[in-house]
Amino acid sequence: MLIIDKILVSDAIKDTYFACNLHACKGECCVAGDAGAPLEEEEIALLEEVLDEVRPYMSPGGKEAVDWAGVFEYDTDGEYVTPLVKDKECAFVYFENGISFCAIEKAYLEGKIKFRKPISCHLYPVRIKKVGDSEAVNYDKWSVCAPALIKGKTTGEPLYKYLKEPLIRKYGKGWYEKLVTAME
């Protein structure tokens, strides 16, 4: 375990080689599970603000879930999460050729909005946990990501490098540079 500016970082971030393989996993991380994607409180307002631009990319079930619940729900721990469609996929998922993608990110990539997607999604398979006054950056090992571990070993890219952009988005470039120095 490392500590970078009071942020705890699991050794698994260095020791795990990872690269998403959507053709193998089909984006199952957006579909499986028992709750929606974790949301930070400020992301709720951002989602409400961009919802009209995101809606055209959402599935009918996703639109219905958001119409019923709004852009967030609470999980069993009382944390903010995205709503689910019939207790299955995230309300912001759409499907293309049997692969699940994020409607929020599609609107972002098409230049419709400036919010890419929830940071928890951008960082996955890393999860951030509150630990007292600090946070812990942990690898969330899940069987649906097994193809990404195989591809990661092939590319030789450790998780902290694979997730460079979202880690900088979350903690800043200076923090990321300290992480890289500590990892290497």
Give per-residue pLDDT as tens, 9-57: 999 999 999 999 888 889 888 888 788 999 999 999 999 999 999 999 9
Q: 163 near 155, Cβ under 8 Å?
A: no
Nearest to 103 by CA among 74, 131, 63: 63
C-alpha torsion 98→68→56→50, nearest 10:
-120
Question: Residue 14 CB: number of other CB atoms within 10 A?
Answer: 18
Please state which of the ranges 27-41, 98-112, 116-130, 163-177 shows the lowest mean pLDDT.
27-41
pLDDT of residue 32: 86
Above 90 in pLDDT, residue 110?
Answer: yes
pLDDT per position as a tens digit, 166-183: 999 999 999 999 999 999
pLDDT number for residue 131: 87
Percent of the chain having pLDDT more than 70?
Answer: 100
Please check whether residue 4 is in contact with residue 179, taking contact to mean a CB–CB distance below 8 angstroms. yes
Whether 83 shows a pLDDT value over 90: the answer reads: yes
3 state SS of 176 = helix
Listed by start position, the domains of the chain span 1-18+125-184, 26-117
* Distance from C-alpha of 139 to C-alpha of 44, rounded to nearest angstrom: 24
